[in-house]
Amino acid sequence: MKTLRTVVAAVTLLGGGCALAHGRLADISVYDRGEGRWLQVYQHEGRAYVVGKPGHEYQIRVANRLREDLLAVVSVDGVNVITGQTANPSQSGYVLSPRGSLEIRGWRKNLSQTAAFYFTALPDSYAARTGRPDDVGVIGVALFRRKQEPKPVAPIAPEAARGAPAAAERDSRLGTGHGRHEHSPAIHVTFERATSAPAEVLTLYYDSHANLLARGIIREPVQVAPIPRPFPGFVPDPRS
């Protein structure tokens, strides 16, 4: 199998609890940099969603659950976050160390900078501005395991061997913009995939609060009226 060159970015750890979209090999979560919090994940009909606020920068965390390296090919709005190509699992990705996590803050411009992700209206999204508006509102991670070199096998003794949506709704969707440039060091490494197809694909959808509410994916909390108490306490003075 062809050896692919990939990019490894520096890991930035953030404190606080996080809402995760769980996978077998890795987990994915989104951090709102404007509010300083992890976005809650809502489950609806087998899909995971987060609410994005227009204008807020965000970053994606991919956390490796295995004790081995993983290659994560990451897409936002159907665009590879490293190469800018229309996303395909066969493209370049980030290498996650065993049990390690990776913060992806933006579109990679070179080995030292990224352009920040931020939630924005569909026409301003990077995908729409490059003529690819159809897949805005989704983050994807295709995960690959590393090909293992065959281990030498000791000779077997002879005795042992014998025992063997609508247009108006689409235009109101939230997308991801191409924001300010930030320092983000990275290096090239090699990673030979164990298989040509991903071992797992993680998908996390996002949209505005209004759109997810209208689609029934999230619901407003129900306001419950207080129950009258027959013996609430002592008699207060009336208001003047």
Q: What is the mean pLDDT of the chain?
A: 85
Say what percent of the chain tops pLDDT 70. 82
- pLDDT of 18 > 70? The answer is no
**Domain-located, residue 58:** yes
- pLDDT (average), residues 210-218: 93
* Contact indicator for 102, 94 with CB cutoff of 8 Å: yes
- pLDDT (average), residues 103-108: 96
Cα separation, 119 vs 90, whole angstroms: 27
The residue among 171, 12, 178, 173 whose CA lies nearest residue 84 is: 178
- pLDDT of 3 > 70? The answer is no
**Across 130-139, 154-163, 185-194, 220-229, least confident range:** 154-163
- pLDDT (average), residues 73-95: 96
| 100 vs 172, higher pLDDT | 100
**Across 23-32, 162-171, 199-208, least confident range:** 162-171
Rounded (5°) CA angle 229-235-238:
105
Total domain count, the chain: 1
**Domain-located, residue 184:** yes
**Domain-located, residue 219:** no
**Domain-located, residue 135:** yes
Cα separation, 37 vs 22, whole angstroms: 18
| 148 vs 36, higher pLDDT | 36
What predicted TM-score, i.e. pTM, was given to this entire model?
0.79
**Domain-located, residue 228:** no
Q: Is 142 exposed, middle or buried (0-12, 13-18, 19+ CB in 10 A)?
A: buried
**Domain-located, residue 54:** yes
Q: Of 141-150, 158-167, 181-190, 197-206, which one has max mean pLDDT? A: 197-206
Q: Is 217 helix (H, G, I), strand (E, B) or coil?
A: coil
Cα separation, 122 vs 117, whole angstroms: 14
The pLDDT of residue 220 is: 76
Say what percent of the chain tops pLDDT 90. 69
The residue among 78, 73, 91, 88 whose CA lies nearest residue 28 is: 73
The pLDDT of residue 2 is: 40
- pLDDT of 12 > 60? The answer is no
**Domain-located, residue 221:** no
Q: What is the pLDDT of residues 125-171, one digit of tens each?
A: 999 999 999 999 999 999 999 998 777 665 554 443 333 344 445 56
* Contact indicator for 17, 37 with CB cutoff of 8 Å: no
Cα separation, 213 vs 194, whole angstroms: 41
> Residue 140: which domain range?
4-149+169-214
**Domain-located, residue 224:** no
